[in-house]
A = this chain, B = another copy of it.
Amino acid sequence: MLRGMIFRQLFDAESSTYTYLLADPVGRQAVLIDPVFEQHQRDLAILRELGLSLTHTLDTHQHADHITGAWLMKKAVGSKVALSKRCGASGVDLPIEHGNVIPMGHYAIEVRATPGHTDGCVSYVFADRVFTGDALLIRGAGRTDFQAGDAATLYRSIREQIFTLPKQTLVYPAHDYAGRTVSSVEEECTHNPRVGGEASEADFVGYMDNMRLPHPKKIAAALPANGRCGEPEDGIVAKVAEWGPVVATYAGILEIDPRWVAEHRDAVVLLDVRTEQELTGELGKLEGCVCIALNELRDRLEELPKDKPVAILCRSGRRSAMAMQILRKAGFDAANVAGGMLRWRALDLPAS
């Protein structure tokens, strides 16, 4: 890998899909390969926490087993949607084809057409790694029995576009179903039971034409949605919260900016979960707070009104994150006030 380059592999357990984050460590420009709709908040959080600016989402093809997060990301951060011209999808900002290069800060990602699983499949080559989508999988290959799939075409794509890369090139596929995360061109050339070693085109076609897999569970929803790059039919997406600028962190915590809370005290119930002793300490406490120490919270939930969302504070925002999880489990709409009393005081926000 290029020195210092930012790289993250992310997994969606529901569809066994891998999403990849690549970023220039200096300019902080990032791309996401194959983002998943349902993982939007997680992926948004890692971009935010690493201080990255997403320039493109790159789908390897029009997926049939999950809905892409491309449109959601575009809506959230203005990233450009890249997809093969051949997919014929609407909402594509960068219709790509074989030989294109996609900029990522000071670097560039090469597009190689690798059709066969679908007609519009591409692989992305960057530095010492190739992102193969559903063309080449670890010890496998994408099915070829729908979406204009063709086993002979896939055989040639893998042999001519992927196996011709340097043998140490790392292979990162769009899926794995056995807990394998990465392979190499050399490994797949040697050990792929479908397309590696002495497998001829006829061997491969014979194998692929006899798989008879059931259709993906989500195909009826995924194909039309991905034909719009993941835009919902009504163009509407549920927000993390309607009542304020709540964001989900990569840790899965819902957080709200203390400045917003200070300006909208009437819109929320303020809950402080520090111990009684701390409330009289140096940091003091906010006026009008409900005070219930974290270790008593589970037993005293009935003291909290349910007609407003709950904004939770502690010293530094750690225990209140735990409290947020307890409250949400109990059916409350709740968010952690980011940074707790420490940040509240550092920002010089009013106590009343």
Contact = CB atoms under 8 A, between A and B. Distances in A.
Contacts of A179: 10-13, 39, 42
A191 to B, nearest CB: 5
User: Which of A42, A139, A319 has the most chain B CB within a 10 Å cutoff?
Assistant: A319
Contacts of A211: 322
Contacts of A4: 168
Most buried by B among A8, A50, A178, A295: A178
A251 interface: yes
B181 A318 contact: no
A37 interface: no
A181 B9 contact: yes
Nearest to A137: B251
A187 B50 contact: yes
Contacts of A12: 179
Interface size bracket, A side: 35 or more
Interface string A69-88: 00000000000000000000
Given A191-B251, A252-B139, A253-B193, A326 B210 contact: yes
B139 A207 contact: no
A207 to B, nearest CB: 5
Contacts of A210: 294-295, 297, 319, 322-323, 326
A318 B251 contact: no
Given A10-B179, A11-B181, A316 B203 contact: yes
A314 interface: yes
Interface in A189-217: 190-194, 197-200, 202-204, 206-207, 209-212
A180 interface: yes
Nearest to A206: B319
Contacts of A314: 203, 206
Contacts of A138: 250
A351 interface: no
Interface of A: 1, 4, 8-13, 39, 42, 46, 49-50, 138-140, 168, 178-182, 187, 190-194, 197-200, 202-204, 206-207, 209-212, 249-253, 275, 294-295, 297-298, 314-319, 321-323, 326, 339, 342
The 7 closest A-B pairs by CB, nearest first: A139-B251, A11-B179, A203-B318, A206-B319, A193-B251, A198-B316, A193-B321
